Amino acid sequence: MSLASYFLVLLPLVSLSLALVSRPDLAENTVRLQNLQGGGGLIGARDSVPAGYVAAPYYPAPPGGWVSNWTAAYAKAQVVVANMTLAEKVNLTTGTGELMGPCVGNTGSAMRFGIPNLCLQDSALGIAATESESFGVDLPLPICELKNDNYIDNTAFPAGITVGATFSKVLMYERGLALGAEARGKGVNIQLGPTVGPLGRKPRGGRNWEGFGADPVLQAWGGAETIKGMQENGVIATVKHFIGNEQEEYRMDIIPHGLMKAISSNIDDRTLHELYSWPFAEAIRAGVGAIMIAYNDVNGSACSQNSMLINGILKDEFGFQGLVMSDWLAQISGVGSALAGLDMAMPGDGDIPFLGLAYWAYELSTSILNGSVPLSRLNDAVTRIVATWYQFGQDQDYPLPNFSANTDDPTGPCYPAALISPTCVTNEYVNVQVDHNIVARNVSREAITLLKNANKTLPLSTNATLKIFGTDAGNNPSGINACNQRACDEGVLGMGWGSGTANYPYLDAPIDAIRRKAADVTFYATDTFPTGITAVTGDIAMVFINSDSGENQETVDGNLGDRSSTGLYAYNNGDALVEAAAAKYATVIVVVHTVGPIIVENWIDLPSVKAVIFAHLPGQEAGDSLTDIIFGDYSPSGHLPYSIPVAEDDYPSSVSLVGFELFQVQDTFSEGLYIDYRYLNKNKVAPRFAFGHGLSYTTFSMTSMTISSVTALTSTPPARAPKGATPVYSSAIPPASEVAWPTGFSAISRYLYPYVDDPESITATGTFSYPTGYSTIPKDPPPAGGSQGGNPALWDVMYSISVTVTNTGSVPGKEVVMLFLQYPSDSAWDTPIIQLRAFEKTDTLAVDASETVTLQVTRKDLSIWDVVSQNWVIPVSDTEPFVFWVGEGTGNLTMACESLSKSCNGGRASPVTVPAR
Ligand SMILES: *[C@@H]1O[C@H](CO)[C@@H](O)[C@H](O)[C@H]1NC(C)=O
Ligand SMILES: *[C@@H]1O[C@H](CO)[C@@H](O)[C@H](O)[C@H]1NC(C)=O
Ligand SMILES: *[C@@H]1O[C@H](CO)[C@@H](O)[C@H](O)[C@H]1NC(C)=O
Ligand SMILES: *[C@@H]1O[C@H](CO)[C@@H](O)[C@H](O)[C@H]1NC(C)=O
Ligand SMILES: *[C@@H]1O[C@H](CO)[C@@H](O)[C@H](O)[C@H]1NC(C)=O
Ligand SMILES: *[C@@H]1O[C@H](CO)[C@@H](O)[C@H](O)[C@H]1NC(C)=O
Ligand SMILES: *[C@@H]1O[C@H](CO)[C@@H](O)[C@H](O)[C@H]1NC(C)=O
């Protein structure tokens, strides 16, 4: 979400807007609704999406409640919703407005049923904005940057990309468990994470680091295990951003909505299924309670009101039973978004923030009374919200928020955006960190990816003479939380910038951790190589460099969220620093903190650059997690969750950032399935470091590989079961009096309520102009659906592959085993040469110790999305096998099992035939 850009834009606009803008009415919503399917912003012009891309209608919204393990929660919700007034229903669907409650999002309440204002709070790596920021937004006033770091009592966990680099399902889950415990401890009902979109299609994309890596299966495991851990605490997790938000710049409609539409991600159906929606389907399968839609359009229709995406794919095909919310201010119409399946509008005042102007709240009440939104749609939205609340037991002793995202003061205005606000206890300073520093450090350490280690330069002796260069080794001299939402590149890079951040309680800088271990350490806290340095034989130089990115509302070093300015090179002239050190010292170790791939060609082959470490984004435990590795207490076991190319233009131009186009920027995913290693392999381009690459201090063998067939292959899955029943309510339009202002009600100015001034005057007009393709007749259930995530048969295990991993080296260590699928050579489908389908990480293996790991390949793993039958099909062949390549990355696959012969062999020629560099 982005508050800051709006706030900045709004300050000058507010008075103007007050004069010019009357309350939006249904007619205005209608205009926007017509725009959404037909094309044309409010001013009537925009580039059309490329030929062939269509935003197909999918109506009506499929009601929730038909999946068996939500039955009990829906039964409870049904009793409540059946008894609710229209005002109570509308309350739960709409946020109370920007800065209108303690959290970044707050719904209205329904206290007759014990349902409080639900608290929605960032982020995917920790509880954001706790007790620290004056308004949770970057006001253009210096006072707002005053912070007291001592107050911070949450953990700043390593970012998603770091978690992905561990390839450890155990750590993915444990970090999620700790994140959820902190959310619950703070009274957060709905935590805004994990992020599985963007997927990392564009190496420069600003928010890739919030997710787990540029592969749908890795991303899916990261998301699903995080969700399971978070929700174990009773917290509702939110998987986001659905979908196609692969670039930050132009992601939003510009105020006023309609002048320039948000970027359109034009994605074909097969690519959507096999890449971008895959992690979302797996999140739904894992039982996620909430989904946040993205700002951008898909095929020219905004995600917040794209009926194919929400009604069709999420709710029907993927069987999603929870609630779909807008990203902050992503909603651009009232009726249109309701019909398209949106259940919750955040932060509520989406029409014009801070002025109490909403698309829902009182407008939703009006649209029910005048018949434009069927009551059944509102009933479903509210039932989904209440059922989700019950599904996670939030009716039982769930804490209320005890912190404020708006202030670090103990008391203050309850509603900072109100003209006059009552005073509240804003912060109770509840420390929720417990021992979560341990899991944070475990993740950061296990993520550390050793890319190069010539002559076993690492690990170092603690007796070594160390010369440390680069500001990235130390802390930001202005303070670890000095930059709002970490929007600067000062000091060690523990996370990117934007809403996907948290405040640091402390930040263990690498230099401090190194000094705790080693005696002879000199630190040059500069990014310009100092003059007058004389290197002495035996000196070891460590050079710290980084590359940052973040959310579009803030710009860092000219980078507009995406790495638009620095590209894939290190910030702060990091390459020059490495090169200068390499010219002086015989042994240089480069440590990189980064949001994603950087181009290392300027120095990687310099003779003195002996070792290179990617420490990703380690969060608060940047120091000890690194020294654990460099001094050899642990062997590195991280692996690259993306490829590192030799040059950026080794990738297709379609994954470059797209620039300005009048009215709407078109971002067409013309490379289809071919992103990251899938593209490089197809085009026989060797990366510098392959997806999955990561060295160890020890060596492993993989032996005794076996394959067994578990389920007989058929090309299509067994037919899905019919849907179960869903709650049935009266469809009569409720009495208008239900949304009349209660007598004696003292309203907070600009706060959003469900109440309408003269509700009795609203009558059904029958003139509403519904979108093309609108229907109230339920569609036949899609063949690919059937339960959460899709047809349950998609997760039937078809093959099971086992391999014994033995530590053949001289120190303990962990190994990651990855399985890549190659389709039968006679398959008529165009498919990437190999695709990651499963992975496992061993426990710590002592020298000579072994562990047998088992990798399971499901029906979905073998399937291709057939756009014609709208189902997953396996290209079964009688003569050509599926080949399952097993190794520790895409770079050097030599062992494989085959499906037909059930044989497994080593010493094979890699399927990836790229010329050596
Ligand atoms: C976008 O258009 C493509 C090409 O027609 C189509 O395959 C896909 O289903 C469309 N996606 C959505 C969400 O409408
Ligand atoms: C929901 O159902 C799935 C698959 O049927 C099952 O794996 C999962 O454990 C169930 N979850 C709950 C909370 O009952
Ligand atoms: C309203 O709630 C009562 C209990 O509080 C319940 O017995 C009744 O069934 C509910 N009404 C409906 C229509 O579900
Ligand atoms: C709606 O929520 C607000 C708080 O956000 C509360 O003041 C009001 O009483 C609620 N209305 C009903 C009908 O519960
Ligand atoms: C490794 O050490 C040997 C012997 O000292 C030296 O000749 C060789 O150049 C070194 N290799 C690298 C890559 O530094
Ligand atoms: C460090 O130096 C001391 C004294 O020379 C020696 O006793 C010790 O073994 C050395 N430690 C390492 C790790 O090399
Ligand atoms: C590739 O793997 C084989 C077998 O494990 C190994 O002998 C060889 O050194 C590896 N090559 C590279 C370049 O890593």
Tokens 């991303």 -> residue: 219
- Is the per-residue pLDDT at 435 higher than 80? yes
Ligand 2 neighbour 287 (Cβ under 6 A): yes
Closest-CA residue to 41 (of 345, 255, 232): 255
Atom from ligand 3 closest to the CA of residue 729: 13
pLDDT of residue 244: 98
Using a 6 Å cutoff on CB, does residue 91 contact ligand 4?
A: yes
Ligand nearest to the CA of 690: 7
Between 538 and 253, the more confident residue is 538
The residue to mutate among 49, 243, 269, 870, having the most atoms of ligand 1 within 8 angstroms of its beta carbon, is 269
For 790-805, give one letter per residue: b (16+ CB within 10 A) or e. bbbbbbbebbbbbbeb
Q: Is the pLDDT of residue 703 over 50?
A: yes
Going by alpha carbons, the residue nearest to atom 10 of ligand 4 is 109
608 Cα to the center of ligand 5, angstroms: 10
d(CA 55, CA 302): 9
d(CA 637, CA 911): 25
The least confident of 151-160, 179-188, 792-801 is 151-160
pLDDT at 206: 98
pLDDT of residue 47: 60
Lowest mean pLDDT among 1-5, 115-119, 426-430, 555-559: 1-5
Q: Report whether the peptide linkage leading into residue 730 is cis, meaning its omega lies within 30 degrees of zero.
A: no
Q: Using alpha carbons only, give the angle 902, 908, 913 rounded to the nearest 5 degrees.
A: 120
**CA–CA distances in Å: residue 635 to residues 456, 594, 629, 807, 813:** 12, 21, 6, 12, 5
- Above 60 in pLDDT, residue 138? no
Q: What is the mean pLDDT of the chain?
A: 92
Over residues 79-106, the mean pLDDT reads 98
pLDDT tens digits, 766-790: 778 899 999 999 999 999 999 999 9
pLDDT tops 70 at residue 149: no
Per-residue pLDDT at 136: 43
* Residue with CA at minimum distance from ligand 7 atom 9: 892
Atom of ligand 5 nearest to the CA of 610: 14
User: Which ligand lies nearest the alpha carbon of 912?
Assistant: 7
Q: How many CB atoms lie within 10 A of CB 399?
A: 15
**pLDDT tens string 628-669:** 999 999 999 999 999 999 999 999 999 999 998 888 999 999
Residues with catalytic annotation?
327
pLDDT at 147: 46
891 lines ligand 2 (CB under 6 A): no
Find the 237 Cα to ligand 4 centroid distance in Å: 24
- C-alpha of residue 915 to centroid of ligand 7, in Å: 15
pLDDT value at residue 376: 98
- Using the mean position of ligand 4's atoms as its centre, give its distance from the Cα of residue 364 in Å: 15
Per-residue pLDDT at 143 exceeds 80? no
Looking at the predicted structure, is the pLDDT value of residue 600 above 80? Answer: yes
Q: Which of 256-270, 614-628, 701-715, 858-872 has the lowest mean pLDDT?
A: 256-270
DSSP E strand stretches across 710-815: 797-807
Give the C-alpha separation, 481 to 518, whole Å.
Answer: 28
Q: Is a pLDDT exceeding 80 seen at residue 22?
A: no
Q: Are 417 and 136 in contact (CB under 8 A)?
A: no
pLDDT band at 764 (very low <50, low <70, confident <90, very high): confident
For ligand 6, say whether the CB of 461 is within 6 Å of any of its atoms: yes
Cβ-Cβ contacts under 8 Å for 589 (sequence gap 6 or more): 457, 458, 460, 540, 541, 542, 543, 610, 611, 612, 613, 630
Band (608; pLDDT cuts 50, 70, 90): very high
Taking CA atoms only, the protein residue closest to ligand 3 atom 6 is 79
Confidence (pTM): 0.94
Where in 287-436 does DSSP place strands (E)? 290-293, 297-298, 301-302, 323-325, 411-413, 423-425
Share of the chain above pLDDT 70, in %: 92
Considering only CA atoms, which of 394, 192, 176 is closest in space to residue 286? 176
pLDDT greater than 60 at residue 712: yes
- Is 461 within 8 Å of 448 (Cβ atoms)? no
Ligand 1 mutation target, pool 267, 315, 868, most atoms within 8 A of CB: 267
The DSSP-derived string for 113-131 is GTB-PPEEE--SSS-TTTT
Closest ligand 5 atom, CA of 454?
13
3-state helix, strand and coil shares in percent for the chain, rounded to the nearest 5:
25, 15, 55
Backbone phi and psi for residue 797, each to the nearest 5 degrees, phi listed first? -80, 125
Q: Which ligand is nearest to the CA of 668?
A: 1
Token couple for 298: 């898909």
Task: State the pLDDT confidence band at 869, using cuts at 50, 70 and 90.
Answer: very high
Q: CA 677, CA 645: separation in Å to the nearest integer?
A: 9
- Least reliable range by pLDDT among 136-150, 741-755, 843-857: 136-150
Ligand 5 within 6 A of 605 CB?
A: no
The yes-or-no verdict on residue 916 having pLDDT over 90 is no
- Is the pLDDT at 135 greater than 90? The verdict is no
| Predicted pLDDT at 917 | 64
Q: Does residue 894's CB lie within 6 angstroms of at least one atom of ligand 7?
A: yes
In this structure, of 4-8, 383-387, 670-674, the range with the lowest mean pLDDT score is 4-8
Cα(185)–Cα(333) distance, integer angstroms: 35
For ligand 3, is residue 72 a contact (CB within 6 Å)?
no
Q: Is the Cβ atom of 455 under 6 angstroms away from ligand 5?
A: yes
pLDDT at 14 over 80: no
Shortest-distance Cα residue to atom 9 of ligand 1: 269
Which residues neighbour 205 within 8 Å (Cβ) at sequence distance 6 or greater?
Answer: 198, 246, 247, 248, 549, 562, 596
Distance 645 CA to ligand 3 centre (A): 62
Of residues 528, 815, 545, the one with CA closest to residue 697: 815
Shortest-distance Cα residue to atom 13 of ligand 4? 88
Q: Which ligand lies nearest the alpha carbon of 689? A: 7
Cα(597) to ligand 5 centroid in Å equals 27
Instruction: Give, as one character, the DSSP assignment of residue 316.
Output: I
Three-class secondary structure assignment of 744-760: CCCCCCCCCCCCECCHH
Quick one: which ligand is closest to 116's CA? Answer: 4
Number of H helices, E strands in the chain: 19, 28
CA of 387 to the centre of ligand 2 (A): 16
Q: What is the number of residues in the chain?
A: 917
* Least confident piece of the model among 136-140, 380-384, 603-607: 136-140
8 A C-beta contact, residue 163 and residue 212: yes
Using only C-alpha atoms, what is the Rg of the chain?
27
Ligand 2 atom 14: residue of nearest CA: 69
The Cα 701–Cα 709 span in angstroms is 24
Confidence of residue 915 (pLDDT cuts 50, 70, 90): confident
Residue 143 CB neighbour total at 10 angstroms: 7
Distance from the CA of 498 to the center of ligand 4, in angstroms? 31
- pLDDT at 663 (0 to 100): 85
Task: Give the residue whose CA is nearest to atom 2 of ligand 2.
Answer: 69
- Average pLDDT of the segment spanning 461-474: 98
Q: How far apart are CA 37 and CA 656, in angstroms?
A: 27
**pLDDT in the model for residue 255:** 55
Pocket lining: 454 vs ligand 5, CB cutoff 6 Å: yes
Region 890-896: mean pLDDT is 94
